[in-house]
Structure 1
């Protein structure tokens, strides 16, 4: 696969990774399981138990696990055709996916500010 095609895959494959990570860690549809995981991450007696449940509440942490699944299902490698290519691809996908989530978070914040301003104008 050419470097151009590898980069194309990098930026496209990061989109569903970001989507799944954001949805599980932020959206209302997963609120109850996320609240449970938050409680468990604070109350478990063992460090391993607390960290396990924390993974489901942090988009950065959770994106690593979604990336591993994406690499298993796609076989995507970046730059090298051996295990090092998987490692490079994994960290690159996590980074790009988190850039996407940060941008999405900023867009949502701006939209919320605009809605608040519109409601305030409508109320006056």
Structure 2
């Protein structure tokens, strides 16, 4: 596969990885299972059990498993055609996906701040009337 095609795949394949990892670890649709996992990370005695449940609460950790799944179904590799290419692709995809999630998190945070500022300004305008 040509290098430009591989780079294109890298940046495009990181999008669904970021989407799945973010949705499971942050969005309301998975709140109850995530809350259960958070409780288990605090209550379980076994280190292995605590770490297992933790992976569903951390977008960085979970993105590794999502990436492994996407590598398995797409057979995407980067630079080298053997197992080393899969290893390189895996870490590159995790990194790019986490950049996407960080940017998305910053965007959402700025939207929350803007909404809060707008609500304050609206309240002040109503009080001034």
Which category describes the TM-score, using the shorter chain as reference length? over 0.9
Unaligned runs of 5+ in 2: 125-129
Larger gyration radius, structure 1 or structure 2 = 2
The correspondence of residues 35-114 of structure 1 with structure 2, limited to 5 A, is 35-114=35-114
Unaligned runs of 5+ in 1: none
Structure 2: distance between partners of 1:23 and 1:121: 32
Structure 1 residue 122 displacement after superposition: 1.0
Structure 2: distance between partners of 1:30 and 1:101: 17
Structure 1 vs Structure 2 CA RMSD: 0.4
State the match for 2:26 in structure 1: 26
Superimposed CA distance per residue, residues 79-106 of structure 1 (whole angstroms, 9 cap, x where no aligned partner)? 0000000000000000000000000000
Where do 4+ consecutive residues of structure 1 move more than 3 Å?
Answer: none
Paired residues, what number? Answer: 124
User: How high is the TM-score relative to the length of structure 2?
Assistant: 0.95
Structure 1: distance between partners of 2:19 and 2:53: 20
